[in-house]
Chain A
């Protein structure tokens, strides 16, 4: 077993029953584990709703630390569509040449800075820095803003002990209130101003709604991107032949990124609230209980993926759900894909091999299941090409 391997803790439960029950504060969750079931439930927004008390569909539940509804993901169709229609063009900007170039120079600079021959602790000194700097492009804000975001650490809602932390979340909320007030007084071309100036379904977006979009942007794209980047680096350190192959065969880089997303599944699962009594995998799901769509388990479903526990760099058919599925698929997916693709391009150009010096896994605990999602710390040395 290599250090970068990520085991699949759900395999037995998935094969035997297709679901598992886990406790979450006082509101337990039935996890859906098979790819087809996960997709079907994700698609059936009528029975499995995303629109409940703000924070309830997230697992672990965030009802105790926020009252602002995250938009668009805590809004059901058809209302969801108006918000998504407004946000999609903005969140697809990473496909524009100008954006790509700016992202390239951010990544290039960061990699070059860390090529000096010293070791680098990837989580805090590389991935968090990269995520925060790249976020300035997504929000269209000054590069300097990233310094403050870096100082918040790897999770905006969690303190070091991993527990959800209301005081910490408040730091983000206060910041967003301040930025939104600034944008109201002096509109510019950043996302804060764009949201406040936008109309959805003929109605002007409120400050609370704009804040909901921004909380999602800050929280949803943070540890997920950090995990995706860090896991990729650990994998490439463990597999120098793969880095060489990506260098030699640039045409497979796109497939490799999808495969990393499948294998790493940076977000383990996302919940839904059951609206009417129903069944999942022949198990009763009562109205007002929660299920979760376990992307991590679905992405290892052996009935769909050949060799699910291996990274097959050029996997051709890869119907993964690493960015979710159906209406609520990941709004930041284009940005995340562009970050990974730029990172791989720069590594192929500038880095010969990566030495893995030290790693401590970040393990999530869900009752009977322990799932590695990334690293608490990961120390490597990038060697110059």
Chain B
């Protein structure tokens, strides 16, 4: 089980647990505000944009080129941005903290 914490734009903190699937799916299933996942996770809508806690960037992994191209033109993007549909849940993510970008 990996525990993942989402911090929304209203500063609400939600900790959820899962052992598989995408981080976006976990957030959508639990109604995390600001994560819509409109495209279902194929990297086309950017409605799953999060900022990874700066000290945990390595834990979350790097964006692929296609993901980085999407992020380049997203509002509020910075060097900690990820599209969380592209983050697969594994035990390694335990303790990850993500701030919802929108």
Q: Let me know if A317 is at the binding interface, CB within 8 A.
A: yes
Given A255-B42, A333-B38, A334-B38: A319 and B66 within 8 A (CB)? yes
In contact, B73 and A39 (Cβ under 8 angstroms)? yes
Known: A318-B44, A319-B44. A258 touches B39 (CB 8 A): yes
Least Cβ–Cβ distance between A191 and chain B, in angstroms: 21
Q: Are A316 and B73 in contact (CB under 8 A)?
A: no
Asked if A40 and B69 make an inter-chain contact with CB atoms under 8 angstroms apart, the answer reads no
Total number of A-B contacts with CB less than 8 angstroms? 43
Which residues 43-95 of B sit at the A interface, judged by CB distance below 8 A? 43-45, 64, 66, 69-70, 73
Contact assessment for B69 and A43 in the assembled complex, using a CB-CB cutoff below 8 Å: no
Residue-wise, chain B 22-34 has the 8 Å CB interface mask toward A (1 for contact) of: 0000000000000
Cβ–Cβ < 8 Å partners of A36 in chain B: 69
User: Could you tell me if B40 and A304 are in contact, using CB atoms closer than 8 angstroms?
Assistant: no
B42 engages A43 (CB within 8 Å): no
Give the chain A neighbours of B73 by CB distance below 8 A. 39-40, 43, 325-326
Render A314-356 as a binary contact track against B, CB cut-off 8 A, 1 for contact. Answer: 0111111111011001000110010000000000000000000
Contact B42 A258 (CB under 8 A): yes
Instruction: Say whether B69 contacts A319, CB under 8 Å.
Output: yes
A317 touches B40 (CB 8 A): no
B66 — which chain A residues lie within 8 A by C-beta? 304, 317, 319
Interface residues of A in 34-51 (CB under 8 A from B): 36, 39-40, 43
A308 proximal to B (CB < 8 A): no
Q: How many residues of B contact A (CB 8 A)?
A: 13
* A28 close to chain B: CB less than 8 A: no
The answer on a CB contact under 8 Å between A319 and B70 is yes
Map CB proximity to B onto A4-46 as digits: 1 under 8 Å, 0 otherwise: 0000000000000000000000000000000010011001000
A315: chain B residues at CB < 8 Å are 42
A153 CB within 8 Å of chain B: no
Most buried by A among B40, B64, B66: B40
Say whether A220 faces chain B, with CB atoms less than 8 Å apart.
no
Q: Nearest Cβ distance between residue A156 and chain B, in whole angstroms? A: 26
CB closest residue in chain B, given A321: B44
A317 to B44, CA, bound (A): 8
Bound-state CA distance A140–B24 (Å) is: 30
Known: A39-B73, A43-B73, A317-B66. A254 touches B40 (CB 8 A): yes
Which B residues touch A322, using CB under 8 A? 44
Chain A CB count within 10 A is highest, among B38, B39, B66, B70, for B39
Contact: A258 with B40, CB < 8 Å? yes
| Closest B residue to A259 using CB positions | B42
Q: In the bound complex, how far is the Cα of B38 from the Cα of A318, in angstroms?
A: 13
Q: With a CB–CB cut-off of 8 A, which chain B residues contact A333?
A: 38
Q: How far is the CA of A316 from the CA of B41 in the complex (A)?
A: 8
Per the bound structure, the CA–CA distance linking A75 and B38 in Å amounts to 23
Residues of B within 8 A of A326 (CB): 73
Residues of chain B within 8 A (CB-CB) of A39 are 69, 73
Name the residue of chain A whose CB is nearest to the CB of B40. Answer: A254
In the complex, the chain A residue whose C-beta lies closest to that of B86 is A317
A320 CB contacts on chain B under 8 angstroms: 42, 44
Residues in chain B near residue A334, CB distance under 8 A: 38
Q: Are A316 and B42 in contact (CB under 8 A)?
A: yes
Contact between A317 and B64 (Cβ–Cβ < 8 Å)?
yes
Given contacts A39-B73, A43-B73, contact A317 B38 (CB under 8 A): no
From residue A34, how far is it (CB to closest CB) to chain B in Å? Answer: 12
Residues of A within 8 A of B40 (CB): 254-255, 257-258
Chain B residue with the shortest CB-CB distance to A305 = B66
What is the CB-to-nearest-CB distance from B9 to chain A, in angstroms, rounded to a whole number? 14
Counting chain A CB atoms within 10 Å of each CB, which of B40, B42, B43, B69 scores highest?
Answer: B42
- How far apart sit A329 and B38, CA to CA, in the bound complex (Å)? 12
The 9 residue pairs across chains A and B that have the minimum distance between CB atoms: A254-B40, A318-B42, A43-B73, A258-B42, A319-B43, A319-B44, A317-B43, A320-B44, A317-B66
**Between-chain CB contacts (< 8 Å), 20 pairs:** A36-B69, A39-B73, A40-B73, A255-B42, A258-B42, A317-B64, A318-B39, A318-B43, A319-B42, A319-B43, A319-B44, A319-B66, A319-B69, A319-B70, A320-B42, A321-B44, A322-B44, A326-B73, A333-B38, A334-B38
B interface residues, Cβ below 8 angstroms from A: 38-45, 64, 66, 69-70, 73
